[in-house]
C-alpha cells in the first residue's frame, strides 16, 4: 500500500497535477469547483505532500538547525535551552518548518555541522550561548544560510545577529539594589570571562560601584555550583568583611549559599546574596534567591523573528536587547 502522490489526488479530482500543486501552495488561480474536488480527493486519499520531493525542486529544506555549542554536559539543564527549543519548534511549526538539533562540542562535531549547513541541508542556523572565539561563527558567517544567535556573540569579526537580555542592566539592577540597602562591601562572583554573561555582568557591576569594585572583591566561577562554592570561600578569605555578594548565576549562588553557611554567616543578615537567571534552583535554595529574571521567552521569540526576517530576504537586521527585572526574595 503505497502513499498517494499528487498524481493520485489529481486523478481522483479529475484535474491535473499543476492545479493540485497550485492549491497546495496557495496560488490564487484555482476555480471553486476544482478547489472542492481537490479537497475531497485529498481527504479521501489521505494525501500528504512529500516534502522531500518538494525540497529537491525548491532548493529549500524547510528546516532550521539548532547548534548546541555547550561543551559541558550538565549545563544543558540551562532553562535557556529548553525555552529556546520550545519556542523555536512552535514558531517554526507555524511556517510548516521543523527543527533539527546538532551538537558542536568538539572539532569533529563542528566539522559535521559545517558540512551539514554548507551542504544545504538547512535553511537557517540557530546558535545558543556561544562563547567567545567559537570557530563555528566564522565558519557559518560567510556564504551559507542565515544564522542568528540567542545571546550575544562576542569577540568575532564576522558578527551575527542576536537577541539577548541586557546583561549589564541586570547586573546594575542587582548592584544598585544592594547599594540602596546600605551594603558597604559588595563582592561579585562572575561567570567565565569568555562568555557575554561573564563579561557584561561584571561590567554592569563595575559601572555602579566604580572604584569600590576592587579586585579583592571579585572572584570567577564557571557557572557550576561547585565553582560558586569555591569562589565564595575564596572571597570570604580575601575579604572577610564583605556584606553582599552578587553571583552571576543562580546555580553558582546555590554554591555560594553553602559556603556562607559553612562559614557561619547568616543570609541575608550578615551577607546578602543575589543570583541571576531566576531558574528553578532560585526557589529550591534556602533562603530562596533574590535574583535577576531574564525574559527568556521573549529572547527566544525575538531570535526567531530575526531569523525569519533573514529567511524572508532582509539583508540586514539589528540585534535586539531586552530588559531584565529584579526579583526580590529572601536571600538579599
Partner DNA sequence: AAAGCTTCTGTGAACGTGCACAGTAATCCC
Partner DNA sequence: GGGATTACTGTGCACGTTCACAGAAGCTTT
Residues that bind its own copies (CB under 8 A): 3, 48-53, 55-56, 61, 63, 68, 73-74, 76-77, 79, 81-82, 85-86, 89-90, 93, 98-103, 109, 112, 115-116, 118-121, 225, 251, 254, 257-258, 261, 279-281, 283-286
- Residue 24 interface partner, choices its own copies, DNA, none, CB cut-off 5-8 Å depending on type: DNA
Closer by beta carbon to its own copies, 85 or else 179: 85
- What is d(CA 242, CA 257) in angstroms, rounded to the nearest whole number? 14
262's contact among its own copies, DNA, none, with CB below 5 to 8 A by partner kind, is: none
Taking the least distance from each CB to DNA, the nearer of 56 and 193 is 56
To the nearest whole angstrom, how small is the minimum distance from the Cβ of residue 36 to DNA?
10
Whole-number minimum distance, CB 42 to DNA, in Å?
10
- Output the smallest distance, CB 24 to DNA, in A: 5
**Residue 98 in 3-state DSSP?**
strand
User: What does 32 bind: its own copies, DNA, none (CB cut-off 5 to 8 Å by kind)?
Assistant: DNA
Residue 190's φ and ψ, nearest 5 degrees, are -95, 170
- Torsion over CA: 8, 10, 34, 56 (sign): positive
Cell numbers at 13, concatenated? 479530482
Q: Considering the complex, what minimum distance in angstroms separates the CB of residue 306 from DNA?
A: 24
Q: Rounded to the nearest whole angstrom, what is the least distance from the CB of residue 149 to DNA in the complex?
A: 29
The smaller minimum CB distance to DNA, of residues 21 and 239, is found at: 21
Residue 182, contacted partner among DNA, its own copies, none, CB below 5-8 A by kind = none
Q: Which does 214 bind (CB under 5 to 8 A by kind): DNA, its own copies, none?
A: none
d(CA 205, CA 227): 20
Helix (H, G, I), strand (E, B) or coil at 99: strand
* Of residues 155 and 288, the one with the C-beta less far from its own copies: 288
CB atoms under 10 Å from CB of 248, counted, come to 33
- For residue 189, the 8-state DSSP code is E
Nearer to its own copies, 81 or 205 (CB): 81
Q: Which residues bind DNA (CB under 7 A)?
A: 2-3, 5-7, 14-19, 21-22, 24-25, 28-34, 47, 49-50, 53-54, 56-59
d(CA 132, CA 224): 19
Q: Alpha-carbon distance 139 to 218, whole Å?
A: 35
Could you say which of its own copies, DNA, none residue 16 binds, taking C-beta under 5 to 8 angstroms by partner kind? DNA
For residue 100, the number of C-alpha atoms closer than 13 Å in the C-beta half-sphere is: 14
Whichever of 49 and 159 has its CB closer to DNA, that residue is: 49
CB of 16 to its own copies, least distance (A): 21
Report yes or no: 219 and 235 within 8 Å, Cβ to Cβ. yes
Question: What does 43 bind: DNA, its own copies, none (CB cut-off 5 to 8 Å by kind)?
Answer: none
Interacting residues of 310 by C-beta distance below 8 A, sequence separation 6+: 124, 146, 148, 161, 317
Least separation in angstroms between residue 86's CB and its own copies is 7
For residue 109, give the 3-state DSSP assignment.
helix
- Helix axis angle, 17-24 to 6-13, nearest 10°: 110
Q: Residue 189 in contact with residue 256, Cβ under 8 Å?
A: yes
Of 145 and 275, which has the nearer Cβ to DNA? 145
- What's the gap between Cα 152 and its chain centre? 9
Q: Which does 284 bind (CB under 5 to 8 A by kind): DNA, its own copies, none?
A: its own copies
What are the contacts of 311-319 at 24+ separation with CB within 8 A? 311/123, 311/124, 311/146, 317/161, 318/161, 319/152, 319/161, 319/162, 319/163, 319/164
Amino acid at each position: 500500500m503505497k502513499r498517494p502522490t499528487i498524481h493520485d489526488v489529481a486523478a481522483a479530482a479529475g484535474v491535473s497535477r499543476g492545479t493540485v500543486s497550485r492549491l497546495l501552495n496557495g496560488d490564487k488561480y484555482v476555480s471553486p469547483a476544482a478547489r472542492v474536488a481537490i479537497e475531497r480527493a485529498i481527504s479521501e486519499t489521505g494525501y500528504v505532500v512529500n516534502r522531500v520531493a518538494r525540497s529537491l525542486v525548491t532548493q529549500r529544506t524547510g528546516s532550521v538547525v539548532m547548534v548546541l555549542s555547550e561543551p559541558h554536559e550538565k549545563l544543558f539543564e540551562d532553562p535557556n535551552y529548553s525555552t529556546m527549543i520550545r519556542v523555536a519548534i512552535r514558531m517554526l511549526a507555524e511556517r510548516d518548518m521543523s527543527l533539527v538539533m546538532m551538537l558542536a562540542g568538539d572539532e569533529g562535531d563542528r566539522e559535521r555541522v559545517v558540512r551539514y549547513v554548507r551542504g544545504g541541508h538547512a535553511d537557517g542556523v540557530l546558535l545558543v550561548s556561544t562563547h567567545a572565539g567559537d570557530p563555528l561563527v566564522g565558519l557559518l558567517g560567510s556564504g551559507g544560510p542565515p544564522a542568528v544567535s540567542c545571546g550575544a556573540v562576542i569577540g568575532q569579526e564576522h558578527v551575527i545577529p542576536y537577541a539577548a537580555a541586557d546583561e549589564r542592566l541586570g547586573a546594575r539592577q542587582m548592584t544598585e539594589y544592594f547599594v540602596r540597602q546600605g551594603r558597604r562591601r559588595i563582592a561579585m562572583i562572575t561567570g567565565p570571562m569568555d562568555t557575554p554573561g561573564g563579561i557584561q555582568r561584571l561590567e554592569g557591576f563595575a559601572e555602579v560601584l566604580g572604584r569600590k569594585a576592587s579586585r579583592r572583591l571579585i572572584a570567577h566561577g564557571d557557572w557550576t555550583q561547585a565553582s560558586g562554592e569555591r569562589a565564595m570561600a575564596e572571597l570570604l578569605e580575601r575579604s572577610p568583611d564583605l556584606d553582599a555578594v552578587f553571583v552571576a548565576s543562580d546555580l553558582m549562588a546555590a554554591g555560594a549559599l553553602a559556603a556562607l553557611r559553612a562559614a557561619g554567616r547568616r543570609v541575608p543578615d550578615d551577607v546578602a546574596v543575589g543570583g541571576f537567571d531566576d531558574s528553578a534552583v532560585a526557589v529550591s535554595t534556602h533562603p530562596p534567591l533574590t535574583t535577576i529574571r531574564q525574559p527568556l521567552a521573549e529572547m527566544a521569540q525575538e531570535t526567531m523573528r530575526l531569523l525569519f526576517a533573514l529567511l524572508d530576504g532582509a539583508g540586514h537586521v539589528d540585534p535586539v536587547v531586552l530588559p531584565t527585572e529584579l526579583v526580590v526574595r529572601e536571600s538579599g
